[in-house]
């Protein structure tokens, strides 16, 4: 279960899936870094010149350039923050896993930086000693030389004090690090199970029977999809509101390319091809997808839009759970107000075991509870009081929202949690260490190969590494300062 279909158009879905925004953000961030570094260099240079008593004779073009670079940097940073909001959240979330390793890396960098810092610090001390020595011979310049000594001491403080403060902070920062993957082995929960996000969309066209069958082959315990209702009341599987991205509607009926998919009858929808797009290089939904065999290419090329009934038959046969989004049909649709009841009727008629249905849609939930008490009711990221009021013990949530809104409370209340969309091994490891029950993923094949959380370590082992690195770095930094002092 990803975002509500209304929140993600077909074109934007492709962009987010392929990661184009991510790479453009990296380019933008690099430009900002270069411009900021240039501006900072000019400002530092200007400050040092003023410190030495020099006047800044800037040409008008220099002033305009500095102002322009500053404005451009701020503007680009604002654009990046606006379009990379989720990436910043992911960056912050990654610290739950990588904080211990960043700590060790920062300690190593401080050892490396100690060489130029100690060299410059000792040079300033040598200059200060020389000035004090010369003062005894030139009493008439004593006042001026005292002023120079104060400036040298100030520079020493500017160079040495921040270094010492940062170093001491890094030495004790592990006290405040609480990574879920730092725990005793016996406290580690079971490996999360998988829901195939629209099947297995890296090895088959999403929301087709090929995709769902491949998800079953790869070990999915559940299948995720999105259901729409045709104009003649047939529930079918499709994520987007229109048919442009994942069918050949633009070839069959170009004038209807952007029409709502619920506006077509099933007789027409069943004739569309739902797999050829997957084989086009420019339409690949993921980077670094493995090449398919010729047999799989041919199979993908002939995929059609499936009905909900097809998915239910597969789930019943393989004993797999089914979870789905169910957006409301557009106004004037025959099933506008009864679409939930239609879907419930189709599910019950399929004879699938009721407990295999994870019912997520919130509209008309009371009717669903009455007619299908065996369905497992699933909520979203609601308060515990709201979940308790609806007697819901399972939630399906975006991993970013959950980790930033209080995972501990839901775990304490014994709420079963499914996270979406989890594709990266480090994120899956975080979910595993956090005792998450299941994840919705595009990449079952990769995650199923993980037999132990990445970046996992016991508290004793981390403490040993922490103290060892601190001790070694203290010895090395002391030796470097001693070397330059001598």
User: How would you classify residue 43: left for phi > 0, otherwise alpha for psi between -120 and 50, otherwise beta?
Assistant: alpha
Strand bridging mode 357-359 / 321-325: parallel
pLDDT computed for residue 179 by the predictor: 84
Task: Name the average pLDDT for the chain.
Answer: 82
Question: Do 16 and 8 meet the contact criterion of CB atoms below 8 Å apart?
Answer: yes
* Whole-number Å distance between alpha carbons of 181 and 435: 10
pLDDT of residue 129: 63
CATH topology of domain 193-447: TIM Barrel (3.20.20)
Contact 352, 318 (CB under 8 A): no
The pairing of strands 321-325 and 193-197 is: unpaired
pLDDT given for residue 9 in this prediction: 39
Domain ranges of the chain: 13-83, 92-186+456-486, 193-447
Residue 277's alpha-carbon distances to 8, 83, 303, 355, in angstroms, are 19, 28, 10, 35
Q: Residue 280's CB: how many other CB atoms inside 10 A? A: 8
pLDDT digits (tens, 9 = 90+) for 419-448: 998 999 999 999 999 999 999 999 999 999
Going by C-alpha positions, the residue among 421, 205, 237 that lies closest to residue 325 is 237
In this prediction, what percent of the chain has a pLDDT beyond 70? 77
Q: Which residues of 203-242 are buried (b: 16+ CB within 10 A; e: fewer)?
A: bbbbbbbbbbbbbbebebbbbbbbbbbbbebbbbbbbbbb
State which residues of the chain have pLDDT below 70. 1-59, 62, 80, 83-87, 121, 124-160, 404-405, 486
Is the CB of residue 265 less than 8 Å from the CB of residue 375?
A: no
Q: Is it true that the peptide bond before 421 is cis, omega within 30 degrees of 0?
A: yes
Question: What are the φ and ψ backbone dihedral angles of 135, each rounded to 5 degrees?
Answer: -65, -30
Interval 97-109: pLDDT, tens: 888 888 888 888 8
The tens digit of pLDDT for each residue in 64-80 reads: 777 777 777 777 777 76
**Residue 131: other Cβ atoms inside 10 A:** 15
**DSSP conformation letters of 32-78:** HHHHHHHHHHHHHHHHHHHHTT------HHHHHHHHHHHHHHHHHHH
- The pTM assigned to this predicted structure is 0.78
92: phi then psi, degrees, rounded to nearest 5:
-65, -40
**Integer Cα distance of 388 and 372 in angstroms:** 19
């Amino acid at each position: 279960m990803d975002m509500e279909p209304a929140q993600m158009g077909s074109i934007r879905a492709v962009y987010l899936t392929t990661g184009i925004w991510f790479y453009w953000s990296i380019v933008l961030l690099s430009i900002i870094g270069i411009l900021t570094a240039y501006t900072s260099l000019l400002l530092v240079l200007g400050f040092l010149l003023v410190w030495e008593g020099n006047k800044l004779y800037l040409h008008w073009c220099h002033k305009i350039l500095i102002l322009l670079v500053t404005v451009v940097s701020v503007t680009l940073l604002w654009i990046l923050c606006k379009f990379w909001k989720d990436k910043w959240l992911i960056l912050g979330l990654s610290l739950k896993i990588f904080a211990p390793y960043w700590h060790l890396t920062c300690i190593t960098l401080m050892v490396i930086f100690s060489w130029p810092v100690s060299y410059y610090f000792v040079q300033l001390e040598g200059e200060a000693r020389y000035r004090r020595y010369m003062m005894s011979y030139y009493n008439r310049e004593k006042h001026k030389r005292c002023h120079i000594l104060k400036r040298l001491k100030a520079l020493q403080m500017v160079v040495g004090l921040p270094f010492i403060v940062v170093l001491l902070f890094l030495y004790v920062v592990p006290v405040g690090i609480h990574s879920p993957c730092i725990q005793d082995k016996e406290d580690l929960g079971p490996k999360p199970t998988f829901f195939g996000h629209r099947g297995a969309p890296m090895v088959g066209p999403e929301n087709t029977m090929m995709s769902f069958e491949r998800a079953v082959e790869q070990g999915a315990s559940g299948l995720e999809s999105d259901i729409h209702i045709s104009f003649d009341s047939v529930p079918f599987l499709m994520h987007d509101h229109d048919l442009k991205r994942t069918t050949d509607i633009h070839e069959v009926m170009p004038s209807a390319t952007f029409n709502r998919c619920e506006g077509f009858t099933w007789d027409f929808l069943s004739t569309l091809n739902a797999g050829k797009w997957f084989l086009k290089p420019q339409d690949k939904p993921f980077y670094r997808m493995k090449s398919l065999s010729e047999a799989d290419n041919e199979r993908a090329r002939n995929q059609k839009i499936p009905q909900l009934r097809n998915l239910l038959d597969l789930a019943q046969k393989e004993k797999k759970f089914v979870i789905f989004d169910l957006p409301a049909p557009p106004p004037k649709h025959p099933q506008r107000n009864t679409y939930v009841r239609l879907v419930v009727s189709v599910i019950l008629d399929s004879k699938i075991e009721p407990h295999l249905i994870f019912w997520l849609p919130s509209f008309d939930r009371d009717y669903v509870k009455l007619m299908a008490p065996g369905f497992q009711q699933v909520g979203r990221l609601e308060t515990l009081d709201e979940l308790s009021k609806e007697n819901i013990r399972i939630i399906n949530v975006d991993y970013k929202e959950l980790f930033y809104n209080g995972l501990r409370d839901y775990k304490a209340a014994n709420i079963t949690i499914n996270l979406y969309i989890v594709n990266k091994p480090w994120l899956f490891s975080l979910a595993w260490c956090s005792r998450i029950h299941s994840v919705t993923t595009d990449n079952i094949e990769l995650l199923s190969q993980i037999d132990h959380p990445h970046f996992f370590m016991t508290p004793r082992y981390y403490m040993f590494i922490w103290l060892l690195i601190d001790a070694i770095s203290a010895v090395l930094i002391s030796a470097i300062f001693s070397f330059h002092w001598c």
